[in-house]
Structures are given as structure tokens and as C-alpha cells.
Chains A and B, each alone.
Chain A
Amino acid sequence: MDSQGQTILLVEDEPQIRKFLRISLQAQGYRLIEADTGRSGIERCAAEQPALMILDLGLPDMDGQDVIRAVREWSGVPIIVLSVRSGEGEKVLALDNGANDYVTKPFGTAELLARIRALLRQHPEGEPAASEIQVGGLHIDIPARRVTVDGQEIKLTRKEFEILKMLAQNAGRIITHQHMLRELWGPAQTGETHYLRIYIRQLRHKLGDDPANPKYIENEPGVGYRMVPSGA
């Protein structure tokens, strides 16, 4: 969890945005390297091997999506995408191309930092996934398939449990609708997002989670779901 010395690559063409991110991130103890074009971003990523990459999708020299694809050819570095509100399709495409999360412009630093923390926490690779997860009053014992909320045991169907497990193991990170459908229902079912809604709804109901003010499962309209990270 120690952020000391971790290197973050920022690919963004607006000097003003780079400036405030540099100040905010350095204040949090990260080391920041910057690039103002897609091409130099790819080069710096290869040269410096940063722990995380923040990528603006609207770059002057090339499409941000192409930057993601290029990087993903040889690197598994976590990528956070900066996008505008009306670009839901763009966000989903970026996530499909291999980006790990996104932040909608304009954004607050707190939000961005939460995403960065969530991604850096889950890494490095190879670390075994935790067998027990605690989010607020929610406790999940994965091998035992046991779910309790504030000590009360909750009965879940198989699919509900699988959904909860997937979200909990990636707490703080966005999981797209498509990803969940593919993993839990198989590739043929990726169009049937309403199945997912129904299960999420039942799950929330059983967990006592208010959809209007969720404690555990957050909705990202048009993109996917996110488990509220513990301590966030």
C-alpha cells in the first residue's frame, strides 16, 4: 500500500491539467513523469516502466484507443483513462481495449486518487487473491461461500455469489457489464444486460444495499459496476 516512489506516467496534452495533477500526485508521494503526445507517451512507458499510466483519450497526434492497444501489446501496466461525459461508448471501448478504469472529466482529485489506489493495491500480479474480503459490514469468505452482513448470514444463489465475488475481488475497480456477462454467463449472453440488472438488484436487496445510496455496489451508468473499496 505504500505509494512512496511509485512512478505514474501522465499522458495529457493540456499543460494546465498536467500542472494540477503533478502538484496533487506529488503531494501524495508519487513520482510523476509526463508526456504530451500519444507517441512520446508510448516511448516513455517503454523506457520508464511506470507502475500506472493516466491517459487522456483526446490527444493531438493519435487516438487514445490506439495508445492503449499499443501499450497492451507488451505491457500489463494499469491504465486509467480520462474521458468526457458524453463518451460512454468511448469508455467502454477503452476498457475493452485493455484500460483498467476511467475518470470522467471534469473530475476531483480525490476521485482520481481513489482509482489510482485501487489499481495499485491490486497489483503486483502473482500475489494470491485474498480468500476473505471485508467491505464495511460485509464479510465474504470465498472458499466457504459464506456471506455475512453485520454478522447476519445472507443466502445467495450461485450466480449472485459469483457476481459478488467478482466485484469484491476487484473492489474499487470498474467491472464492465460485458465483462461480467462474459465471465458468468458465457460469450453468447453479452447482449443480455438486463439479466445482470436483475441479479444486481436481488443481490443489493439481500445485502440491504440501497440502490439510491449504495454502501457496497456502485453503478456506473452505461459502463458497469464497482464495489466500494474498503476504507474509501
Chain B
Amino acid sequence: MTEDQRPAPDALLEAARKEGRGRLKIFLGAFPGVGKTYAMLQSAHARRKEGVDVVVGVAESHGRAETEALLRGLDVLPRKKIAYRGRVFGEMDIDAILWRKPKLAIVDELAHSNVSGSRHEKRWQDVEELLAAGIDVYSTLNIQHLESLNDVVARISKVQVRETVPDSVLELAEEIELVDLPSDDLIQRLREGKVYVPEQVGQAVRHFFSKGNLTALRELALRAAAERVDAQMLDYMRAHAVPGPWPAQDRIMVCVNESPLSKKLVRTARRMAERQRVPWIAVTVETPRHQALGDAARARTEEALRLAESLGGEAVTLHAESRVAEELQAFARKRNVSRLVIGQPRRRRWTGWFQENAARRLLDSDAPFEVTLVPLTEKEAQAAPIQQPLQPEAFQWEDYPWAVVAVGCATLINLAVWQMLPLPNVALVFITAVLVVAIRKGLWPSIFASLLGFISYNFFFTEPYHSLAVFYRHDLFTIVFFLGSAVIVGNLAARLKRQVVAMRTTVKRTEALYDFSRKIAAAATPDDVLWAAVHHVASTLQCRSLVLLPDKGGLGIAAGFPPEDQLSRTDWGAAEWAWDKGQIAGWRSDTLPSAEWLFLPLKTRAGIVGLLGVSFANVQQPLGTEQSRLLHALADQVAVAVERSKLAVDIEEARVLGETEELRAALLSSVSHDLRTPLVSIIGSATSLSAYPGALSAEDQQQLVQTILEESERLNRFVQNLLDMTRLGYGALQPRRDWVDLREISGRAVRQLQRELKDHPVTLELTDDLPMVYLDPVLIEQVLVNLIDNAAKYSRPGTAIAVKAGMADDQVVLQVADQGPGIPEDAREAVFDLFYRVRERDSQIAGTGLGLAICRGIIGAHGGTIRARAGKEGRGTAMEIRLPLADPPRTHEADQKAITAGAGDG
């Protein structure tokens, strides 16, 4: 099928990923002294002759003259001096290389560990950064430093090498050059003193350089190189869609736990996966039992998982209540796993009765997996007791008297009642006591209690009494079964207690996360969200915390708890690195571990939105597993929260923008329609008057003039409304208050609208006792004009309009009521929106959609309210204004005396 001829997409992606990156060439040797550095420098010279810009970042000559001769003529960068514990170390200056930006950098000893205070812990991390910056790198590596071969080499050479390089780094290499030397030649060179002996192997030097060892190491190196060649060929075939039998995309899954042998399992799985060219997963299952284990044991699990990740595997933690094997199988099926790698199950010991053995269950199950058992060597098996899942609880003296007291009480109760009850009931009372001790004090006190109970039972309640001898056979049975069940029950109860404790830890973590979600959900502004985040992280982890967000081209501290606005240079360096690379950096991490703060990138699907920084008072103490897990979980949540608040701001901005757009469009249409309509009448009437002065009757002329007048006035009111709207919008419409008689104002409004009201009888119902009101007479008149004009416009000719004013609840109530069609209930609020118009069958009605919005603005500026209501008996519309009443002014008493005409007292 043509489908199959296409290049595999992930192969192309891989190739694309390498675009723009520097190329890595590794000179691989089986052991020190084979001449890797020499070969590398020779190649460097060759490249330089080709005109390539070559820089030597670091090269170790170990005092060998040939090597030093090769260094001459090459551009060697000075090393960076780093002081540590009173000594000065020369490390490769990665910033100098990055700044210099050569085409090719020479970096010797890939497995080298940098001195504390450097940017990265390991040199291979420096090399990764150089590659990412597009710089080609030549480097050297001995096979024993390769992570996955580390234990094999240790087994062969009896020397454990601490400086290791993850295998994935070897995979980064575009090219591997094997620098080989037959074992005999090496031994010869060693004798001549031409081989630099690494410190680590100093003591074991004789053993290390034995012929058997060297041959084995050579084989390993050759095989590693061959595997890479194989892999490169596979890459090529896949990228170029060469048809052929492909290994099925199944996976290898290795099950790890807190056993110290887990790392061995991981390395084994890695080798198997590499050989088969399949992906692999390291899995651990967390159960409540697991959480009851000590921190050290859990750290071992984490280490094994981290090792798997660094070896290029995927690390997964599953959670299960108890059925570990089933959980593993379900996961394996889900991920298309074909082979499980597990450690050989231990021989059962008596405590094991109560625990399921996952390995055995996996072996016994008929699921379609190949299961590979990795055997334990004799030594490893002996080293295994630490694997014992029951972490012995600290021995506490004060628990044992409790057991004595409990059993003593049980004995007293039994002594009181035993003669009335059958014998087995006595056993039940003892078992109750054992249960209580188990639940309150744990396993060992409960076993102690069972023994005490057993003795007491035997002594007091079986014949012959007051002796430990047993007379009847059935009594013997009873007490033996009693002991058995007491131990089992005690064991179960103690386990229950441990699980409860473990559950509490989990619940606490879940609560912490839930609490955080709730706080963030309640936060209204982005600032609140950030503050809630830092506060929560700080209080949960008992540390200082920061959130850094991008700010004007750089990073800025957006929030801190306790508030913080300064960071040291090292910390800024770590923060910027974490931001650039999207990786954790700073305190106790791989990058700039000497920093005081640890920075975690806040990653979302959209990318990195910021950084979370934490700093602990005790910089020496590493993070516990639980804390580390919680920290990562919190960072995820903070990331989501920060992104969400950013989105909320974006949405709000978009909404405001959209509304402004909408208003502008409405204003334009309103202006073009409502300005033009009266102008059409005015221009039409005026042209008629000017064109046919003689042909028009006096009456017609009068009508045209009348039209011009009316329409001009309408235009005037529209312009006035537009002006007011603008001033309202700018907040410039300040009421110029004065004491006002509402009757004057209403009268003026009606007189202004004489022409519009010629078909509508207007009744003014304003009571005489209406108090003076303190308001802006001009603006309130404008409001009344708009309301009365609307009333006239929206009701049929001949119907009445009523303007009423009165007092209610210490407020002045003004009402304009018409007998028109009324406003539907659901539109009564919306009519006050700008440019809103009730859709009418009579679309001829000219309106701007401005009037009521202005009314609401003006009334609001007076501290009053305006709303639309149904008219009297549900007919028409009643616009109701309520205005607060100020203290009514008083007249001078002295002036109240009436003077009668002609009284002559003037």
C-alpha cells in the first residue's frame, strides 16, 4: 500500500527536531588511555583546515606531550575559575563559548561532573545547551560511564563509577567514533606510563586493567557502537520509508518498588528495550501500604523512576487500594505492553502471609504478557531485608503497659462473668482487648497482648485452674485457636491503623490542592489569583514563594509571599534559564544548584506562562518526596490559574472592544438615520417653497413652513441629546442644582412640545403641596421633554398623556403616562440601553435610541431612579422617576405677615 511507503511521521519529526541544533560527535572508548582525546583533536585539526571555526572549550591532555602538541594551533578558551571549599577549580566556560558562537566546540570528558556553583551539575548538560544553541560539539566518553552499562561494568571490573551519562545523550550523537585499542597494546602503554589513571580506579588499578576486564569492556563498547549504527540505519529507513518488517510498536514495562534492586531492573529493561528498539515504561503502584513506608524507602522508588526517565524511559506512578497485580495488568493492556520485567519474588516469610505478592500473581495470571524475571544474586538476596515492607515501628516502651492493662481488664471482666458463660465467650473478651490494643498501639503491642491473653486464659479459665497446664484436649484446642486468631486479628487491626495514617497524608494533600482550587476560584482579579497562589504555596510547603511573569521583555516578580522584590544574581540566572529552557532550575536541581531559590516553569498547553519560585529556610535539607510531589502539583495548578486569569483579562478586553464597536455602529446608524430624516423634510419643503412660490396656495405654503419648523425643532432636540450623551459619557454632565418648582419645569416641557402634542391632550396632575426640589432645572426639563415626546410618538393621536407628580416614601415621584401599546415586560429595562428601540409594527417612528439612555444618565446623576412600568389598568406605559428629597427651604417668619393694600405701613 502506498500508505506504507510514506515516511513515518515521528521519524520526520525527529529529523526536524535536529534541524537547527548542533551536531554531536562522540569519541567512544572502552577504557581510559585508548587515545580518545588525541583522536578528537586530530579530527578538530582536520575540520579547522576545512575552514571551520573551531574552539576548544576543554581538553584534558593529562600531561601527554602528543596531545599537548595537538592543542597548539587551536583556539583554546580559558577556563572559568570557580572557588569551592577553599579550592579553585577550572571549569569549562560555557557562557564564553555561547558568546563566541563557534561552529564547532571541543568538549572533552562528557561524563565529567562540574564543581558546585557551576551552571549545570554535569558537563553533558552543558553540551546539551551548546547543541541547543546550534553549536556542533566533539566530545569523548568511556563506555563505563554510560548509565545503562554502569552496573554491568561494575560487575565486570568491580569498580563502581559514579560519573554517569544518560544513554539518551549517546542517542543525541549524530556520529559515534569508536576509538579502539587491543587490550595488549593498552597494557603495554600502561606500563610505559602513557595512560592517565582516573582517581576512582586508583586502588583497583591492577584489577581494572586486567586483560579479561579490558576485553569485556571492549566488547561492550563495540556493541554499544554497533547498536547505535543499527539505530541510525533504522532511523534512516524509517525516515525514508524503506519498507521492511518493523518491530511492532509494543512496549516493555518494568515494575519497580522501594527495593534497592529496582535500579537494576530499570537498567535491564532499558537494555532489553534498546535491543528491541521499543519504548519502555517504568511503573510503580502506590498503595496505602506503600505510603506507610518510611521516606527513605519511598525515595528509593522515586530514584528508580528518575533513573528510568534519565535513561529515556517513561515513568508512571499508578494508585491502587490493594490489587497491585490487577492494576499493573490493566495499565499494561492499555499501553500495549508486550513484556513485563519484574524482580524475582522473595521467599515468603511469615509476615508475608498477610500481603499479596504482586510478582507471584503476575506470574500466575494467564494474561497475554511475557514476563521476564530478573533473578537476584546471592549477595543481593542477602542485601534484601531492607525490602521488608513492614517498616519496623519505633519501639515504644510505654505501649506495652497498655497491653498489660487491657488484658488485665479483660481478665477481671472474665473472672466476674465466666461461670455464667460458656468458655469460648471468655476468649471473645480477650480478643476484644487485643483488638483495642492493636488499633490504638499497633502490631507489636497487640501480639504482646495476645500472648498475655493466652497466658491469662490458660491460667485462670482452663482446668486445672491457676496453672499453665491443660487438662482437657478441647481446652487446648481453644487456647491454641485463640492465640492464632488473636495474632491475625491484631495484625489486621494494626494494618488498618497504618492505612488510616497513610490515607490521612493523601487526604491532607488532596485537601491542600482542593483548598487552593477554591481560593483561586474565589479570586476576582489576576492579582488576587497570584496572591492566593504564592500565599498558598508558602503556607503549604512552609517556604517562601514567588511567581515570576514575563514583563516588558524580561521576567518580573509578579507576587511573593512574604513579599519580595529582590533576587540575587545567581537566582536571576536560574530563573532566566528556567524561563528560556522551560525546565526546573536553581536550588538542588541540575542547573545552578547553588542558587537559593528553586524555579519551576508554569507550563500549560499554550506554553510557559511564568515561573514559580520556592525557597526553604533550611537550604541543606533536600525536599522530601511528598513535598516534591506536592510542589509539582501546586505548580501545575498555579500554571492553570495564571493562564485562566490571563484568559479572563483577554476575554474582558475583547468584550469591551466588541461593545465599543457595537455602540459605534449603532451611533453611526442612528446619526445617519435620525439626522437625515428631518433634513429630508426640511430640504423638501424649502425647495418647494422656493421653486413654486406662485403655484402654492397660502394654506399649502403655511403647511410647508410648519413642516420646516417642526422638523427643525426635532433636529434641535436630537442634537441636544447627542451633546448630552457625549457629556454624560465623559462624566462632564454635572447637575447645576437649584431649588425648583416641578410645576414650572413640567409646564415648560409641555410648552416646548406644543407642536408634537397637538393631537394629544396633556393633563398635568401636580399637587399643590408638592415641595421644592433641589435639582438641575434644565436637565430635568430635558428628561421630561424626552419622556413626553416619546409618549406622544408611541401612542395613537387623540389619546391622552398624563404628567403626574407626588410624594411617596420621602421621595418625589414624577410620572409620564401614555395610552400607547406599552412596553413588553422583558424589555422594560432594555429600553434604557443606548440605541435600544422597541421593535414596532410602525417602523416610521423616528427615534434615536438616545433619549431614555440620557434620561437614566441625568436622573442617575441626581441620585434618583427611572424605570418603565405598565400604565393604569395595564394600558400604555408609565415612566416613573423617583428623586430624593432634600431639606425643604424655609422662609423668614417675619415676612409671613400680610400687608393689606392701602394699609399704609410701607
Contacts and interface: CB of A to CB of B under 8 A. Distances in A.
A89 B736 contact: yes
Interface stretch (A5-13, A20-28, A67-75, A150-158): A150-158
B854 to A, nearest CB: 13
A197 B736 contact: no
Nearest to B888: A194
B739 A155 contact: no
A199 interface: yes
Interface in B762-793: 764, 766, 768, 772, 776-778, 781
Nearest to B776: A222
A210 interface: yes
A198 B902 contact: no
A211 interface: yes
Contact of B901 (A146, A194, A198, A214): A146
A153 B903 CA distance: 13
A156 B899 contact: yes
B897 A88 contact: no
B892 to A, nearest CB: 7
A175 interface: no
Interface stretch (B231-239, B328-336, B746-754): B746-754
Given A106-B716, A212-B743, A222-B738, A156 B898 contact: yes
A120 to B, nearest CB: 26
A192 B741 CA distance: 15
Given A210-B743, A214-B747, A222 B895 contact: no
Contacts of B905: 158
B14 to A, nearest CB: 73
A157 B744 contact: no
B688 to A, nearest CB: 19
A3 to B, nearest CB: 24
A155 B777 contact: no
B517 interface: no
B901 A195 contact: no
Interface string B854-896: 0000000000000000000000000000000000011110011
A161 B899 CA distance: 9
A221 B902 contact: no
B885 to A, nearest CB: 13
Contacts of A156: 898-899, 901
Nearest to B747: A212
Contacts of A205: 768
A145 interface: yes
Interface residues of B, number: 42
A212 B889 CA distance: 21
A174 to B, nearest CB: 15
Contacts of A193: 738-739
A68 B901 CA distance: 41
B778 A211 contact: no
Interface string A189-232: 00011110111010001000011111000010110000000000
B901 A147 contact: yes
B712 interface: yes
Contacts of A123: none
A154 B740 CA distance: 25
Interface in A95-114: 106
Given A145-B899, A146-B901, A197-B739, A106 B747 contact: no
Nearest to B719: A106
Given A89-B736, A222-B736, A198 B891 contact: yes
B900 interface: yes
A194 B886 CA distance: 12
B898 A155 contact: yes
Contact of A212 (B740, B746, B890, B898): B746
Interface in A55-90: 85-86, 88-89
B680 interface: no
A221 to B, nearest CB: 4
A197 B899 contact: no
Contact of A213 (B745, B747, B768, B899): B747
A130 interface: no
Chain B CB count within 10 A is highest, among A85, A106, A205, A211, for A211
Interface residues of A, number: 34
Nearest to B780: A221
B654 interface: no
B896 A85 contact: no
Nearest to A147: B901
B172 interface: no
A192 B892 CA distance: 11
Given A88-B778, A211-B741, A153 B746 contact: no
B88 interface: no
Nearest to A217: B744
B906 interface: yes
Contact of A144 (B712, B778, B897, B902): B902
Given A156-B898, A222-B778, A195 B906 contact: no
A159 interface: yes
B898 A210 contact: no
A116 B77 CA distance: 100
Contacts of A195: 889, 891-892
Contacts of B739: 193-194, 197
B720 interface: yes
Nearest to B896: A157
Contacts of B15: none
Chain A CB count within 10 A is highest, among B741, B750, B901, for B901
Nearest to A202: B891
A203 B351 CA distance: 111
Interface string A155-196: 111110100000000000000000000000000000011110
A144 B901 contact: yes
A157 B901 contact: no
Given A195-B892, A212-B764, A86 B906 contact: no
B906 A145 contact: yes
A158 B744 contact: no
B895 A158 contact: yes
Nearest to A211: B743
Contacts of A155: 898-901
A205 B741 CA distance: 13
B768 to A, nearest CB: 8
B679 to A, nearest CB: 15
Given A197-B739, A210-B747, A219-B748, A158 B889 contact: no
Nearest to A154: B901
A34 B890 CA distance: 49
Contacts of B98: none
Contact of B741 (A89, A158, A201, A213): A201
Interface in B708-745: 712, 716, 720, 723, 727, 736, 738-741, 743-745
A221 B740 contact: yes
Contacts of A199: 891, 895
Contacts of B889: 192, 194-195, 197-198
Given A86-B723, A158-B906, A195-B891, A221 B781 contact: yes
Nearest to A205: B768
B744 A198 contact: no
Contacts of B736: 88-89, 222
A151 to B, nearest CB: 13
A144 B645 CA distance: 82
A197 B778 contact: no
Contact of B772 (A85, A161, A194): A194
Given A210-B743, A212-B766, A221-B748, 12 more contacts: A144-B902, A145-B904, A156-B901, A157-B895, A157-B898, A159-B895, A193-B738, A198-B889, A211-B743, A214-B747, A221-B738, A222-B777
Enumerate the 9 nearest inter-chain pairs by beta-carbon distance, A residue then B residue, closest first: A212-B747, A194-B889, A221-B777, A211-B743, A194-B739, A146-B901, A219-B744, A212-B743, A198-B891
24 contacts: A88-B736, A88-B778, A106-B712, A106-B716, A144-B901, A145-B902, A147-B901, A157-B897, A158-B899, A158-B906, A159-B895, A161-B906, A192-B889, A193-B738, A194-B739, A194-B889, A197-B889, A198-B772, A201-B741, A211-B744, A212-B746, A212-B766, A219-B744, A221-B748
